[in-house]
A and B are shown apart, each in its own frame.
Chain A
């Protein structure tokens, strides 16, 4: 079943000086099926982060349509957008974005409390913290944690609302290789439990965990690679080939 549909998405940024528009996304089309794990790859400036921001409703597209469960997101008001974000989306960021003024428990509860959906929050927390191995951290504060631990907490926060789709923006960008591979295997695990994941990255290693990789260049989906039955290693080679041939080469 199609979960997310992006059609003819266009995003322009108008600089303060008139007549000077920058096109970040020119015409993006793709669909995400339920339970998919998709990586979006591209050079910096290719528009991949803009794409994610548009899907996350943090940015308004100039034209085109984004729909989640057949609900057109470009037509929602600010209040409804906020509700949509907290009810249907989960976020994981490169720099974790945990609140230093709250304990780990409260950080994870945050989306539930914003959604006024606090019934049974303890069970959800127990369940997630066991899966992510962060039980011993619950009473600490973010500034006491290592990067890998922070990202686990961020994942817990993203998943506690059972989101339709988990959006990850360079989730391993600030982590060392050991922590990176741990976080990525966590993603793979949740994906096996039918969690839909959309991840933006420029690391082919990270992308090799995905089932499908979309390449973005000059604001368009340029190419895509399916993993099929490949191992991660083989997938990595395929991605690297695609990168050198399609992105690096003369298009």
Chain B
């Protein structure tokens, strides 16, 4: 009983450290539980793309699990320092190490029970809200959430393992503990940090390099590979600059005597100089985590919002009916089916276009058939469709006739700029590079470069088809398909039945906007949801990291502020100094993160283009809202932190 009492008392006494630990732990439990509940929920199982959505949620689960472990261990290290002193005292008073271990496991058990119970309760409550949000995002309509024991069991086991690790850590530190060192805990002065101009210039250079890559990247495919280089450069630069630049800037401030010897700046600058030395890496990590949260939000929001546009561009009309043989589409059959299902068909048109052949574009504007060896050089890879000028004339009334050696080229990505193009051995003059062709989808479902070449007649492609067949490892005949595109109107039940019947017509493939949209919505909606969960946990984690850092520093700074108050600093001035110091610690990471995000935007933009997604104003609005809410969350943690810190350092006059 004594051990329980001591264990509980220690928790209560160190509530300044324990409370955030328990809250953060509960939040981690709740997040894990929510994702688990979603994975097992009926609503998600009923989705069309349920497999990939569950896969994505599971991936999110793994990441959140890892984050939870790191986070628990990190926050616990602050607690553990406090506990060490306490245990040292118990040790001096005559407790054996075995007794300390007995106290320790009781403490772990208490905090584990508190955290899991709180976490599971709040998780269950919030999961109701979150499944609503989730289903709204993915466009599902089953909001059922069957609460089974399995997720709760998983979360409980997972966190009991985490706490077991913490206990092991505790036991080790108790075993290694030397009482005498605790009694002689001397504080050694830290020497003033030095200026490292070389590292500063290196940091600036790396940062400029990273930003430069992002600003100048041209092709989306290159963006992916260069993205990692840029990220690496910026990460290194962030660490370097936080460590070095902060010192240099503060020292410059210090050298400016008129600025330095002012009441407000004097203490802040001299304190920050030492503080930054201890905190630079931590703050750099916080900045990077914040940047990550922002990038995740931007990409997932863009994808979620951009998907509709993307699908619309793939589908000039709601339904595309492709005949795989040369037969004309029987418009009549379609109309008959439509009548049967009470569906109205409008704005229909048909066109004839070749199937896609994969080739690649060499540097001297030549199209080579794709072979195994050339397949590796993804740079010039292109998917090409052909269309006769006769067909083109139907789609585009203001049409200028092509001569036999002339072609029109419509390049969806807009990278083709040559005046000539060669198919194997014959060169054609590019009469015009078209921005678009009416009635032709302006997006393809996959990410490769693609173009449509308008040729004078089928003769050109017939000849080429033979050669491609002979040379290419992937034998692809160029065949022309008839496509029928039309919009449908009617209620969704009828529409579904109609589309089902339509797809059963012989020799046809049917694609429609609705099912594509739904599948994408489920996928990107899930993605968006995971993005939100990630960002919330990132922001929470970083906020708490700063909180803990400040609290532990507050204890160290207690003496310093005590001196300042004895020498004649009023409580108001202490408050002001504390605030201005902490606001820097909180503000700097956000400023840096926003700056990183701004410079990353061109690159994110390019990469999203690969997915057919254009960053629109909605994305900027959401990003802005995200930044604002991040600042609000940080600000709340800041208020709490500065209050606690102030209480720690200010003298209590009785």
The interface of chain A, by Cβ under 8 A from chain B, is 13-14, 56, 58-60, 78-79, 81-83, 85-87, 89, 91, 93, 97-103, 106, 109-111, 113-116, 118, 121, 141-144, 157
Contact = CB atoms under 8 A, between A and B. Distances in A.
A111 B567 contact: yes
Given A101-B270, A114-B568, 18 more contacts: A13-B654, A58-B653, A78-B570, A78-B571, A82-B568, A82-B571, A91-B566, A93-B566, A97-B559, A99-B563, A100-B189, A100-B560, A114-B263, A114-B564, A114-B567, A114-B569, A143-B190, A144-B189
Given A58-B653, A101-B270, A102-B270, A110 B567 contact: yes
B273 interface: yes
A79 B653 contact: no
A58 B651 contact: yes
Contacts of B262: 113, 116
B274 interface: yes
Contacts of B567: 85-86, 91, 110-111, 114, 157
A226 B141 CA distance: 95
A58 B566 contact: yes
A169 to B, nearest CB: 10
A91 B192 CA distance: 26
B246 to A, nearest CB: 14
A113 B271 contact: no
Q: Which of B266, B565, B567 has the most CB of A within 10 A?
A: B567
Contacts of A100: 189-190, 274, 560
B571 A143 contact: no
B363 interface: no
Contacts of A118: 261
14 contacts: A14-B654, A59-B653, A60-B654, A79-B572, A83-B570, A85-B566, A86-B567, A98-B563, A99-B270, A99-B563, A100-B560, A106-B266, A110-B567, A143-B190
B563 A81 contact: no
Contact of A97 (B563, B570, B571, B572): B563
B189 A141 contact: yes
B418 interface: no
Given A60-B653, A141-B189, A113 B263 contact: yes
Q: Which of B192, B270, B271, B565 has the most CB of A within 10 A?
A: B270
A56 B562 CA distance: 13
B188 A143 contact: yes
Interface in B308-322: none
B275 to A, nearest CB: 8
Nearest to A77: B570
Interface string B76-103: 0000000000000000000000000000
A58 to B, nearest CB: 6
B191 A141 contact: yes
Given A58-B653, A101-B560, A82 B566 contact: no
B573 interface: yes
Interface in B532-571: 559-560, 562-571
Contacts of A13: 654
A115 B569 CA distance: 9
A101 B274 contact: yes
Kindly list the 6 A-B residue pairs having the minimum CB-CB distance in the complex, ordered from nearest.
A86-B568, A143-B189, A82-B570, A85-B568, A97-B563, A100-B189
Nearest to A158: B567
A82 B654 contact: no
B421 to A, nearest CB: 70
Contacts of B559: 97
Q: Which of B271, B568, B651 has the most CB of A within 10 A?
A: B568
Contacts of A98: 563
Given A79-B570, A101-B274, A101-B560, A113 B261 contact: yes
A87 B651 CA distance: 20
Contacts of B570: 78-79, 81-83
Interface in B562-586: 562-573
A141 B274 CA distance: 13
B568 A83 contact: yes
Interface in B392-406: none
A101 B577 CA distance: 15
Q: Which of B273, B560, B651 has the most CB of A within 10 A?
A: B560
A82 B565 contact: yes
Given A59-B653, A99-B560, A101-B274, A141 B192 contact: yes
A87 B190 CA distance: 31
A26 B559 CA distance: 30
A115 B273 contact: no
A100 B569 CA distance: 17
Contact of B261 (A56, A82, A109): A109
B570 to A, nearest CB: 3
Contacts of A14: 654
A106 B560 CA distance: 14
B566 A101 contact: no
A166 B478 CA distance: 101
Q: Which of A83, A85, A93 has the most CB of B within 10 A?
A: A85
B253 to A, nearest CB: 13
B569 A82 contact: yes
Contacts of B573: 82, 114
Nearest to A87: B568
B157 to A, nearest CB: 43
Contacts of B560: 99-101
B211 to A, nearest CB: 34
A103 B653 CA distance: 29
A87 B192 CA distance: 30
A114 B569 CA distance: 7
A100 B571 CA distance: 21
Contacts of A101: 270-271, 273-274, 560
Contacts of A103: 192
A126 B208 CA distance: 46
Contacts of B192: 103, 141
A91 B562 CA distance: 13
Nearest to A106: B270
Interface in B351-370: none
A198 to B, nearest CB: 15
Contacts of B563: 97-99
Q: Which of A83, A102, A116 has the most CB of B within 10 A?
A: A102
Contacts of A85: 566-568
Interface string B640-654: 000000000001011
Nearest to B561: A99
A63 to B, nearest CB: 14
